[in-house]
Amino acid sequence: MIHDASYPARPLLATDPHYPRYHFLPAANWLNDPNGLIHWEGVYHLFYQYNPHGPFHGTIHWGHAASRDLVHWEDWPIALAPTPGGADAGGCWSGCAVNDHGTPTLIYTGVHPQVQCLAVSHDGLRTWEKHAEPGIAAPPPGYPTKDFRDPYVWRDGDHWLCVVGSTTSDGRGTVFLYESPDLRSWTYRQPICFGNPEVNGRIWECPNLFPLGNRYLLLLSPIPLRKSVYLIGTFEDGTFRPESQTDFDGGGCLYAPQAMRDAAGRRLVWGWLWEDRPREACMTAGWNGVMSLPRQLDLDSDGTLRITPVSELAALRGAHWQCRDLPLKGTIPLEDLHGDGLEIEAEFEVETAGQVGLLIRRSPDGEEETRIVYDPVAGSLSIDRTKSSTDPVVERDIRSAELRSTDGRLSLQVFVDRSVVEVYANRRVAMTSRIYPNRPDSLGIAAFGEEPAHLRSLDVWEMRTIWE
Ligand code: FRU
């Protein structure tokens, strides 16, 4: 045990068929953004926006979980709660964690109005002491906005830099840059860049700015896009110059990703997976929101972003099934295989014009199924939820991301975890969706495609739950 307190396990695991088995989420209630990610003395700390009072957004606290292996998580006590009469009386909104010369320090947004606050721990990240005054008490002159939040801080030589997400009076997203010698008093420097509302929304939430390879990555969650994007570019003298913009996740359910650097120097990212079913369904379920699996980011030699799930997840692999060189003729159900907690690795040969892919959470008669489809002509990867559930109230759309195989191969890594599906393709594209199959027998897997496309290899593992 990392911590000595005992916390309830996950009772909903046994009773709720949609409650994930190996993704982190609290035992009940509301979760949104990942916050304060930090690797401290060999332990990964994951804080998150949390409402202890119900499965809806309100009275936002910072929940806290910790892990040694990025796979198994232990609940730690709530880290931050709103202080009546304080700068965060209306909620402890998103922020980050840094190591201030040995003192764990959180910088986060207090509301309302939105100001940037600070808290420190003197007992190994267990309890947190707030600094009474906000370090940044208002947006910079010339930017009269109420949207001013989600500080992201890093060390730069002998001082600290901080970016805060915001908007301009004419409705463009922007990120303000601040500098501080001590994390307590901050000097405004400038906006690092401005957006274009046609391309990247009006208000930028949860900015993350960090070096990757020989470039900088700016991760943004723009309102009203309902998705996150990353901009690759340069950052010099306080100015970010974007060279490209891409969706961070094409599945339509991941938002507010936060990145950290671990002791091994890896850039790891988590995102909030929201529910894609009505509020009433979440109220009945008693929980709302899941954390994505941790993914590693690297910049490839060709300048593109590589997104891969962390290798540690292999620790959850149990029973294994494999097949090699399967010709594809229509839909081929994989008879002995079924489950709602699986990892699937599939390598396809796709030198043909036809679609190929996998069907998961499939009922024996195909009434329910979720389709993962690669279309070489369209150059797209899709998650098709039109038949994911017979329940008419849940979201049932088709989401697509751009993907072009350059070498005639398609490599899919798919994590099925009850209501969560995470798809990683060719180490380039990530798509995460939520599905709510209605039938208890929607557990099957099938591959599909047309000759000469074929499946070079398929590996399926049952994934162990992290809660037992
Ligand atoms: C993003 C966000 C942040 C804010 C937090 C509030 O999902 O809106 O901008 O700090 O959630 O919970």
**Parallel/antiparallel/unpaired status of strands 29-40 and 287-288:** parallel
Least confident of 48-52, 406-410, 440-444: 406-410
Q: Which long-range contacts (CB under 8 A, 24 or more apart) does 13-16 make?
A: 13/465, 13/467, 13/468, 16/285, 16/287
Which ligand 1 atom lies nearest to the CA of residue 150? 10
Cβ–ligand 1 contact at 60 (below 6 Å): yes
**Span from the CA of 205 to the centroid of ligand 1 (angstroms):** 7
Which ligand 1 atom lies nearest to the CA of residue 206? 9
Q: What percent of the chain has pLDDT over 90?
A: 93
175 neighbors 209 (Cβ within 8 angstroms) = yes
What is the reported pLDDT for 215?
97
What is the reported pLDDT for 3?
54
Cβ–ligand 1 contact at 228 (below 6 Å): no
Of 49, 112, 148, the one to substitute when testing ligand 1's pocket (max ligand atoms within 8 A of C-beta) is 49
- Phi, psi of 172, deg, nearest 5: -110, 145
- Give the separation between CA 207 and CA 193, rounded to whole angstroms: 12
Cβ–ligand 1 contact at 67 (below 6 Å): no
Residues 69-87, mean pLDDT to the nearest whole number: 96
- Phi, psi of 426, deg, nearest 5: 50, 30
142 neighbors 150 (Cβ within 8 angstroms) = no
Residues 434-456, mean pLDDT to the nearest whole number: 94
CA nearest ligand 1 atom 8, residue: 205
Cβ–ligand 1 contact at 147 (below 6 Å): no
Cβ–ligand 1 contact at 114 (below 6 Å): no
Strand-by-strand arrangement of the 215-223 sheet: 203-212, 215-223, 229-236, 239-247
**Span from the CA of 38 to the centroid of ligand 1 (angstroms):** 19
Tokens of 31: 């979760």
What is the reported pLDDT for 226?
97
Tokens of 19: 């409650």
Which ligand 1 atom lies nearest to the CA of residue 165? 9
What is the reported pLDDT for 35?
98
Summarised one tens digit per residue, pLDDT across range 24-33 is 999 999 999 9
CA nearest ligand 1 atom 1, residue: 256
Tokens of 3: 């911590």
Which ligand 1 atom lies nearest to the CA of residue 33? 7
Summarised one tens digit per residue, pLDDT across range 187-240 is 999 999 999 999 999 999 999 999 999 999 999 999 999 999 999 999 999 999
**Span from the CA of 326 to the centroid of ligand 1 (angstroms):** 46
Tokens of 139: 């947006």
Cβ–ligand 1 contact at 149 (below 6 Å): yes
Which ligand 1 atom lies nearest to the CA of residue 95? 10
Position 9 pLDDT exceeds 60? yes
Q: DSSP of 161-223, one letter per residue?
A: EEEEEEE-TTS-EEEEEEEESSSSS-EEEEEEEE--HHHH-SEEEEEEEEEETTEEEEEEEEE
Helix (H, G, I), strand (E, B) or coil at 34: strand
Label residue 76 by pLDDT band (50, 70, 90): very high
423 neighbors 414 (Cβ within 8 angstroms) = yes
Which ligand 1 atom lies nearest to the CA of residue 57? 12
Residues 264-280, mean pLDDT to the nearest whole number: 97
What is the reported pLDDT for 17?
97
Cβ–ligand 1 contact at 206 (below 6 Å): yes
Cβ–ligand 1 contact at 66 (below 6 Å): no
- Give the separation between CA 25 and CA 65, rounded to whole angstroms: 9
Least confident of 141-155, 210-224, 327-341, 434-448: 327-341
**Span from the CA of 60 to the centroid of ligand 1 (angstroms):** 10
Average pLDDT of the residues of the chain = 96
CA nearest ligand 1 atom 9, residue: 205
Summarised one tens digit per residue, pLDDT across range 357-396 is 999 999 999 999 999 999 999 999 999 999 999 999 998 9
Of 29, 30, 33, 254, the one to substitute when testing ligand 1's pocket (max ligand atoms within 8 A of C-beta) is 33
- Catalytic pick among 33, 150, 249, 417: 33
What is the reported pLDDT for 2?
64
**Span from the CA of 201 to the centroid of ligand 1 (angstroms):** 15
**Span from the CA of 436 to the centroid of ligand 1 (angstroms):** 25
What is the reported pLDDT for 406?
87
- Nearest by Cα to 178 from 195, 161, 157: 161
25 neighbors 434 (Cβ within 8 angstroms) = no
Position 440 pLDDT exceeds 80? yes
What's 136's DSSP letter? B
- Residue 82: C-alpha distances to residues 45, 93, 463 (Å): 20, 10, 37
Label residue 301 by pLDDT band (50, 70, 90): very high
**33 in catalytic set:** yes
**Span from the CA of 49 to the centroid of ligand 1 (angstroms):** 8
Which ligand 1 atom lies nearest to the CA of residue 255? 7
b or e along 450-466 (b: 16 or more beta carbons within 10 Å of the residue's beta carbon)?
Answer: eeebbbeebbbbbbbeb
**Parallel/antiparallel/unpaired status of strands 159-167 and 203-212:** unpaired
Radius of gyration (C-alpha) of the chain in whole angstroms:
22
Label residue 1 by pLDDT band (50, 70, 90): low
What is the reported pLDDT for 468?
76
- Residue 42: C-alpha distances to residues 241, 258, 318, 362 (Å): 35, 19, 26, 40
86 neighbors 130 (Cβ within 8 angstroms) = yes
- Give the separation between CA 183 and CA 153, rounded to whole angstroms: 9
Helix (H, G, I), strand (E, B) or coil at 239: strand
Q: DSSP of 282-345, one letter per residue?
A: HHHHTEE-EEPPPEEEEE-TTSPEEEEE-GGGGGGEEEEEEEEEEEEEEEEEEEEEE-SEEEEE
CA nearest ligand 1 atom 6, residue: 93
- Model-level pTM? 0.97
- Give the separation between CA 377 and CA 402, rounded to whole angstroms: 11
Q: Residue with structure tokens 């998103």? A: 94
Summarised one tens digit per residue, pLDDT across range 89-124 is 999 999 999 999 999 999 999 999 999 999 999 999
What is the reported pLDDT for 451?
80
Cβ–ligand 1 contact at 150 (below 6 Å): yes
- In the chain, the domains with their CATH numbers are 26-311 (2.115.10.20), 317-463 (2.60.120.560)
**Span from the CA of 349 to the centroid of ligand 1 (angstroms):** 42
Tokens of 435: 């599905």
Position 7 pLDDT exceeds 60? no
